[in-house]
Amino acid sequence: MKSLLLALSLFPTLALAQQDPPAIPSQPEPQRKILLIPVDDRPAVAHFAAMIGDIAGVQIVTPPKAFLGKFKQPGAPPSILAWLAKEDISQYEAVIVSADMIAYGGLIASRTDRSSETLAKNRLRDLWKIRKTSFKTPFYVFSTLTRIAPTAVAENRAWRQDLYYWAINRERARLYNDPEAKRKTESYAANIPKEELKRYDLIRSRNVAVQAELIRMTYHGAFTHITLGQDDAVQAGPNTREIATLNQEIARLKLQPRSQICMGIDQVSNCLVSRAISDKANWKPSVAIRSADTKVFYKIAVY
């Protein structure tokens, strides 16, 4: 009887001993992330980048949308910098930053004189301080080579087109000493308020000075790579001299391997997301271009 009771008392223990040990839950793979500060709030510069990230299983993290502004309403560089300072950028595969958003408050704001050259440079230096918290994380910065025409708003409707053609003809007169271009320059200037002509040149000069500073900052290690994207322009316009000036600075610092000047700006964040993912995989894709009409290879697009 005692033996039977002992056996019964041990039965639960023996039964448990014969069961498989509880499974240890596997640790999920950490979410791959890239931090992107876009040039504004449009889907083309942020949402499309996120879709590219999805293809590779990479989450694209952006600042709160309220910080990015909307059309004429500029973004909030101080709020974005404060938000970025709280992020642990060592947890990201890469950081991609629009210098125009940090310096001025976005693409449209970069065409205005709301932010001085000194303020713009100080904001970019604050960005550099944040970058110093994790030098191992690749930092890609991009900026817009200012388009020729100002942003189309009601305030400049009367003279906006005249300013566009004035800028083009003034450059043609400078480059080719063309008397007809000189005549047109004077004719268009007569339709534009003098203060707007002055403001136009000051804005462009400020932007080139800030971009030259970005190039020097990249040289000194603030950024892994710099991309300058040309917004709407023509072959002979103020952009011609500006690009030459910036190319001289790139050549002086021998920064060609870590810099590029390309056409367009809206697609740059998308391209840099692709680049960051490819760089992480140490993969450099080869691209073959094919066209049914080979003549297009020798044509220059309108913009």
Mean pLDDT value of segment 284-297: 88
Query: Rounded to an integer, what distance in angstroms lies between the CA atom of residue 192 and that of residue 30?
Result: 57
Given a cut of 60, whether residue 174 has pLDDT beyond it is yes
pTM (global) more than 0.85: yes
Question: Using an 8 Å Cβ cutoff, are 16 and 42 in contact?
Answer: no
Given a cut of 80, whether residue 11 has pLDDT beyond it is no
Confidence of residue 285 (pLDDT cuts 50, 70, 90): confident
Percent of the chain with pLDDT over 70: 90
Domains and CATH numbers, the chain: 30-148+206-282 (3.40.50.2300)
Given a cut of 50, whether residue 15 has pLDDT beyond it is no
Mean pLDDT value of segment 39-54: 95
Residue 4's pLDDT is what? 45
Given a cut of 60, whether residue 293 has pLDDT beyond it is yes
Residue 10's pLDDT is what? 46
* Tens-place pLDDT, residues 229-282: 999 888 889 999 999 999 999 999 999 999 999 999 999 999 999 999 999 999
